Amino acid sequence: MFEFKKTALIGLAISSLTLSGCLSGGGGGGNDDAEQDTRVRVQQQRMNEGFFVVQEDELPFDALESPTASFAPSVVSYEDTSRWSGVLNGAGYRIEVPTNWNGMLVMYAHGFRTSAPKELRVDNPPMRRYLLDNGYAWAASSYSTNFYDVRAGVEDTNALALAFNDIAAENDRVLDAPDKYYITGVSMGGHVTAAAVEKETKETANHVVNYAGAAPMCGVVGDTELFNFFAGYTISLLAFTTDSAANVPFQSPLPTLKQS
């Protein structure tokens, strides 16, 4: 009985030492000198090379027109709203704050850009009039990249939300911090909206905003099946055309596909 226990203890000790060596990278085939992955994200390469350019001359925007007689009169003067635009961290932005601001800020996330991929532009929210009539301020970013880049959408939108008070102060309007932040968006902007409120985003994002509510519209948030369909459809289409896949910006890593 004693010999059995002694043998078992020796075996356990050897197993523990072996496991410890494997986990620590020593004695278990690990390579302390292994090269780290230094690959740069494609979008980051484009940013480093100045591929994306904010269309700064298009950033300033006009006040909304007053409603016609067929509509109920507006409760705010659109001409008197504070309207600011500029560039933040490589992304263009627009902000509008009504005179009767209710203390809440709505962030609007635009959708996927299908044309002029180098040009960064800002979209006003389609519910702009409703927001102003009800005292909400809104802000929107062009993002610092185009193409389907949800991470950039989240980071740049959140960064703009966090810079709201500083931008207001720079434009001679001192405001209290928003009581609540909301976010909404359409298409890829819907994906950005959903991602912005995920637990993982709050744990890993560089810019974190605790949104009180989110309204994603038409965002691809179920799974990857739709993306797989789009990729397969695009490659099949290119295979039956005379154009090269390399002529399509987001397909440049693919080999040239031509009709045989």
| pLDDT, tens digit, 9 for 90 and up, residues 54-65 | 999 999 999 999
In this structure, is residue 22 part of a structural domain?
A: no
Please tell me the total count of domains within the chain.
2
Of 101, 109, 100, residue with least CA distance to 180:
101
Q: Which residue has the higher pLDDT, 22 or 209?
A: 209
User: How many residues belong to the chain?
Assistant: 260
- Do 59 and 98 reside in the same domain of the chain? yes
* Torsions phi, psi for 142 (to 5 deg): -80, -15
Predicted confidence band of residue 76 (pLDDT cuts 50, 70, 90): confident
Query: Do residues 213 and 229 both lie within one domain?
Result: no
pLDDT in tens, 170-202: 999 999 999 999 999 999 999 999 999 999 999
Confirm whether 118 is domain-assigned. Answer: yes
Burial class (CB in 10 A: 0-12, 13-18, 19+), 251: middle
Q: What is the mean pLDDT of the chain?
A: 81
Residue 79 domain boundaries: 42-217
Please give the structure tokens belonging to residue 64: 């909304």
Do 193 and 215 touch, CB atoms closer than 8 A?
Answer: yes
**Residue 123 near residue 146, CB atoms below 8 Å:** no
Query: pLDDT value at position 119?
Result: 96
Q: Is residue 254 part of a domain?
A: yes
Q: Which of 20, 213, 206, 26 is nearest to 105 (CA)?
A: 213
Rg (CA), the chain: 26
Based on the fold, state whether residues 207 and 235 are members of the same structural domain.
no
Cα separation, 18 vs 29, whole angstroms:
11
Confidence of residue 252 (pLDDT cuts 50, 70, 90): very low
Judge if 241 and 142 occupy the same domain: no
Pair 207, 96 in one domain = yes
Q: pTM of the predicted model, to two decimals?
A: 0.74
Residue 8 lies in a domain: no
